[in-house]
Structure 1
Amino acid sequence: MEDRASVLLEALPYIQNFHGRTLVIKLGGGLIEKEELKNSIYQDLVLLNYVGMRPVVVHGGGSEISREMERAGKTPEFVEGLRVTDEETIEIIHKSLGGKINKEMVLGIEKYGGLALGVSGIDGNLVRARKIESEEELGFVGEVEEINPEIVEYLIDKDYIPVIAPIGADEEGTSLNLNADTVAAGLASSLKAEKLILLTDVPGVLQDPEDEESLISKLSLGEAREKIEKGIITGGMIPKVKACVESVEAGANRAHIINGKTSHALLLELLTESGVGTMIEEEGS
């Protein structure tokens, strides 16, 4: 019994520190395809909300989109990690990302007693985007131009957990496919969030990508940039680290990259002394 009490007491100062603070949490699409993992994440979100924190969720869904494309006879194509998105593909993205995946997540959170509401970046003019101009034709792929967080602020003030699909629109009203990490970083900045948390399928930033024991638990902004320049941070981790750096530079207090495959990773990161994953913060924090 004392062991259980000590666990709760360890969480107390973190609950006090983060009470009333906004947390922007990005969930990779692969994590929410695994029943046990996604239920663990939903439980964490509901608990954090009940103890007074204000979670905002941005989700991916790449695998589901690729499967739907293949069912429609289309072969998924990527250029530097960005999905080539023609008219038929953007319709699939609306159906899968903004529809099926988004609503399944809302239902999952509500199953555990939370109150969630699903939107996409086109709702309430949440994410204004512009089409990416590239030497290779990407189609309806965009980058974040401006975020109007008013609808998200309204929802979290009413104790809803917003669940956001990363689809934006340009000034002409054209839907654009967006990178979920970038949307999450922009939201964290505009909401002046306490934390941006990227839940991934790796332990965090590794000194040696081949050695999961070489986890770097903390990086300053300068150190993060340096490790990208020196090629220590490579591949798909680069946009994640850049998103974290940009969010902290623009107003978020800290950013974290953590392994969502660890059961209850959010609780371990936020409510224990050790935490998990990699934390990125300003110099001298």
Structure 2
Amino acid sequence: MTPGDNGASTPEEDDPFGYLYADGQARGAQPPSGGYGYPNAVSRVRAVGERQYPQQQTYGQQVPQQQGTYGQPTAQYQAPEAQQSSVPTGSRMQQNAGRQNAGRRGPNTKGLLIGAIAVVAVVVIGISVAMFNGDSNDEANGATSPSPTQSKSAAPRPKTTASAPAGELPKADAADSSVQLAGGAAPASDVKGAEAAGGTYVGGLNQAGASATWSVSVPEEGAYTFFIRYSAPGEDQSMTVNVNGKDFGSKADLQNYRHAAANDFENGWATTYVYPDLKKGANTISVSCQAGDKCNVLLDQFWVKKGHVTR
């Protein structure tokens, strides 16, 4: 069989949508009346390709009015949402974005900058304080600095004049810095019983020229008592006293009051005194081993009292 045209079909056999096509219209197909069986319905049936749509209106242009046909909306018809604004969707989105951005405030860059500067300042101060405290602790603990230091030549220790708090008269150890040793006299500490700091006393006096000279300051001129604590075991000893460059009238009597055996210096500690006149202010009192003296002694401490006293 070959395909061919069988002629017009009966309405019952016809495609109910044949009116939409050109060949159906040629055969006389008509759209159903009455709005598909709904009362008072308006038929808006059109052939395919017949309906015309309004051209998109651009901003700032007018769209010419088109003559509508029956059942066909005119160009002026627009949905309610389209009537709200004639501005295109893209323009409205840009405007809305602009309004939103205008209502927002940008980041507070000034505040952030101030905060960052404050944090940096706190960190720098903390580091500086830590470095300063570390240096102080190192110095307190006797730690040496890693940087090279200049070597200093050792200078002789200056001799100071002994002085006492108000209302008291001076007292000094024989090995104190206020006492100048000469002629072989030297500090030592191997014999027990000395009352000086660290148990240090002055020995090496049993030779001519050995001396210990004390620089002392008194508040007023007058008579004083000069006390000497010493150790002289075995035989009694005596040494020369010199006050402000002049020999005192009598020697310092260094007797073996403890009756200690010869060379038993640990048990020979005792006290003696002389009555010098001192001037107001600085004075020098020297105990030395001169010709004719017996100087096998150890010197522990010196002190003065106002007037002539015995203790």
Q: Does TM, scored on the shorter chain, surpass 0.5?
A: no
Structure with greater helix share of residues = 1
What's the TM-score once normalised by structure 1's chain length?
A: 0.26
What's the TM-score once normalised by structure 2's chain length?
A: 0.25
